[in-house]
């Protein structure tokens, strides 16, 4: 009644998928960790090591993409998406610090939703940067950060995110913008 060969094929198919999924999760952790290291290096102004670290992260992200593209279902794995978002955050933060335009989703090789979520997370790093800049007396930089986050917020207002992870991350931009505006207000009041 049961075709044993068919069942054996299904079992092998699922085992192969699970093996690739485990490989994807492991490589996602590598990209996440190195992206976080890059963000931390940018905050420390360790500009000497940043470019080589970014090249390393990019290479690891390319390897991750190769794994994910073996089975289209892997592109929907949460670990892959989280790694892509962290990669976007790190790459965008690096370009922001270099006063370059933001890299596009296409250039970074990520989906639109991972790109937008990564940029939303970027605003948290920019809030930290605004605090550090204010402490150092770099008040113009605080204004530059505030203007950028406000522009990002304005652009994202054009979207209808509904109730999703993207919506929650979008809301965090507003809170980060408020924090930066509070810093600007405190600076103005002290002058």
Residue 82 clears pLDDT 90, i.e. is over it? yes
142, 184 contact by CB (below 8 A): yes
List the structure tokens of 35: 């992206």
Average pLDDT, the chain: 92
Tokens of 156: 């994202």
- Is pLDDT above 80 for 185? yes
Mean pLDDT over residues 56-74, rounded?
91
Q: In 3D, which of 171, 187, 7, 31 has the Cα closest to residue 109?
A: 31
- Give me the mean pLDDT over the 3-15 stretch: 87
Confidence of residue 39 (pLDDT cuts 50, 70, 90): very high
| Residue 163 pLDDT | 67
Q: For the chain, what percent of residues have pLDDT higher than 70?
A: 99
Crossing angle for the helix pair 112-135 and 4-44, nearest 10 degrees? 20
Cα 51 to Cα 43: distance, rounded to the nearest angstrom: 14
Close Cβ partners of 151 (under 8 Å, ≥ 6 residues apart): none
Under 8 Å between Cβ of 121 and 165: no
Is pLDDT at 76 greater than 90 in this prediction? no
Average pLDDT in the 168-181 region? 93
Give residue-wise pLDDT tens across range 14-32: 888 888 899 999 999 999 9
Res 153: pLDDT: 94
Reported as a pLDDT band with limits 50, 70 and 90, residue 41 is very high
| Mean pLDDT, rounded, for 102-107 | 96
**Mean pLDDT confidence for 130-136:** 95
Q: Which residues contact 47 (CB under 8 A, 6 or more apart)?
A: none
Measure the CA–CA gap between 38 and 60, rounded to whole angstroms.
13
- Residue 85 in contact with residue 114, Cβ under 8 Å? yes
State the number of CA atoms in the 13 A half-sphere of 128 facing the CB. 11
pLDDT at site 61? 96
pLDDT value of position 35: 96
């Amino acid at each position: 009644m049961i075709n044993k060969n068919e069942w054996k094929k299904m079992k092998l198919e699922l085992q192969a998928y699970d093996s690739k999924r485990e490989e994807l999760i492991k490589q996602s952790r590598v990209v996440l960790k190195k992206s976080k290291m890059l963000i931390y290096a940018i905050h420390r102004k360790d500009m000497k090591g940043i470019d080589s670290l970014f090249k390393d992260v990019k290479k690891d992200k390319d390897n991750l993409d190769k794994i994910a593209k073996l089975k289209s279902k892997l592109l929907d794995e949460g670990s892959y998406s989280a790694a892509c978002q962290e990669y976007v955050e790190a790459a965008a933060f690096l370009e922001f610090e270099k006063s370059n335009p933001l890299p596009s989703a296409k250039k970074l090789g990520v989906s639109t939703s991972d790109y937008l979520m990564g940029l939303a997370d970027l605003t948290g790093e920019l809030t930290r940067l605004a605090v550090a800049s204010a402490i150092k007396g770099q008040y113009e930089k605080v204004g530059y950060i505030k203007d950028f986050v406000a522009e990002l917020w304005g652009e994202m207002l054009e979207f209808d995110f509904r109730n999703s992870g993207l919506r929650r991350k979008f809301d965090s931009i507003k809170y980060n913008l408020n924090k930066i505006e509070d810093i600007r207000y405190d600076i103005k009041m002290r002058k």
